[in-house]
Chains A and B, each alone.
Chain A
Amino acid sequence: MSNEAAPGDPGHRTATSPLAFALALAALVALATTGIWAATGSGYFWPGWVMLGCAAVVAPLAWWSHLSGRPNTPRTRVWWHLDITATLTVALLLIWVLSGAQGPWVFWPIFSLVLLLGLHALVDLRAEVPQLRARQLQERVDTLSRTRRQAVDAQAAELRRIERDLHDGAQARLVALAMQLGRAEVSLAHEPEAAALVRAAREEATVAIQELRDLARGIAPPVLADRGLVAAAASLADRGHATLTVTNTNGGRRLPPAVENAAYFLLAEALTNAAKHAPGAAVRAELALEPDRLVVDVVDDGQGGADPNGSGLQGLRARVEALDGRLTLTSPAGGPTHLHAELPCE
């Protein structure tokens, strides 16, 4: 089955040139015969028959240029049928008019042709309806996947922007405030009561800074935003006593923020769980940066029996699934516990 020729395809255009030629020739012949007819006394309009002859040649050419190269689908077959029906109907009407419009006989052949076309369309196109629906659904799924991915990426980028704004805005101002209060406290050394008030205010500002920092860290740890997943994963593995293997650094290319965030929190949660439930066990973390996806594996040699429906894991699964990824946990009694995730990243 060949590809459907879109209008404006080169193949389509070359098919129209014989048609244009034939149309021009037919117009010329029609004009010449009408001229001769007018010059010879304008009797019975015989040039009509010549035009009918020309039309019989031009019409198949017109179908051909309309439909050649299209795949043999029900829709194309119905188009062929429609073209032929239209041509025959016009021819019949012309013959009827040229022969003096005697009686309604022309109605019956036209009626039969249209009936046949209707039956054909009904039978042939009905088979196409489920296909059409499937195609529409596929397009809908594609659109939804694309827009969801864009939404997730936009959200991750926006969160990082917020983190940066917090850092450069509110946090920096609070630090400046605390610094001023610190200086005020020093200069109030001779007035202990006032100094104590200022000290309390300074400590309050410090707590606010701490809270903002915890908030920012929950969005994405700075080392992830600054240096990317491999560096952040190395930091995590180092702190969690895991051995980290990165099988392909992808030429140092950064992954989309949403993928980096998901993979980071996945590793962090898995390493925390391993430390909590399998203390002292050997933990291996693996990152494989393939061209179209990131594969994360965390395996510990603990006693297994991890709950696949724990709240931490549910949160991770939601994160992974929002990226069209997959997350599986196998943790038979006696171990090992293996967390496996695949994150697509076009």
Chain B
Amino acid sequence: MRVVIAEDHALLREGLVALLNGVGIEVVATADTGPGLLDIVTEHAPDLAIIDVRLPPDFSDEGIRAAIAARAVHPELATLILSQYVEPVYTAELLDSPGGGIGYLLKERVSDVTEFVDALRRVASGGTALDREVVTELVRSRSATGGQLDALTPRERETLALMAEGRTNAGIAKVMVVTLGAVEKHISNIFTKLDLPDTDDDHRRVLAVLTYLRTTT
């Protein structure tokens, strides 16, 4: 897997490069500004871009805008956003931008190397990795204001949250410490209750869930 990194903080950038090299992932180039990202993506055609949200020159949401710009030019580009905070607006914007796999993780998730690399591979292969904080935020605000999510049992809601993070059924079973069959049952109940089409594709599954989360009232 060939990766580029856009991160202005030297300590984090070098830490990421070392971490990825340690697990056999090749970092072909790094940038420390939003516009710099587009240049290295164009030059190296990587499989995946890891992007910090706050980048020079504005130190606001440069990373998101750079990601969307890069995906507009290179639609196949898989994109993983790293941020020190969760902002559902930014996630929604990314999900709306067409292209390859998408991830939005809090920066400290990087410290759990196994999970992080797992998420990287999922995004690089066209899947999704959303931080559980993003999902929790969305699910909580939806259920706080009523709506169809009220129909779900707590276990089903937990399953939905894990699904939205981008996990496979086996991954969900492991986290919830239940059998694969129990997870499949939860999921089929969720699809029934939320009136969502069932599909084997992880990414489309998450998109369907998030579309529901974003648009339902």
Contacts and interface: CB of A to CB of B under 8 A. Distances in A.
Whether chains A and B associate is yes
B110 A186 contact: no
Nearest to B107: A175
B114 to A, nearest CB: 8
Given A171-B84, A183-B19, A275-B144, A178 B61 contact: no
Size range of the chain A interface in the assembly: 35 or more
A226 B61 contact: yes
A202 interface: yes
Interface of A: 164, 167-168, 171-176, 178-183, 185-187, 202, 205-206, 209-210, 213, 216-217, 221-223, 225-227, 231, 234-235, 238-241, 275-276, 279-280
Given A226-B61, A241-B217, A205 B111 contact: yes
Given A221-B85, A234-B89, 14 more contacts: A172-B9, A172-B84, A182-B113, A186-B23, A209-B84, A216-B85, A217-B85, A222-B87, A226-B61, A239-B141, A241-B217, A279-B145, A279-B146, A280-B146
A120 B173 CA distance: 99
8 contacts: A164-B59, A168-B59, A172-B11, A176-B11, A179-B12, A180-B15, A226-B61, A280-B146
B19 A179 contact: yes
Contact of B112 (A171, A182, A222): A182
B19 A175 contact: no
Interface residues of B, number: 38
Nearest to A179: B15
Interface string B54-88: 10000111000000000000000000000011011
B16 interface: yes
Interface in B188-217: 214, 217
Contacts of A235: 87-89
Given A167-B84, A183-B19, A239-B88, A206 B141 contact: no
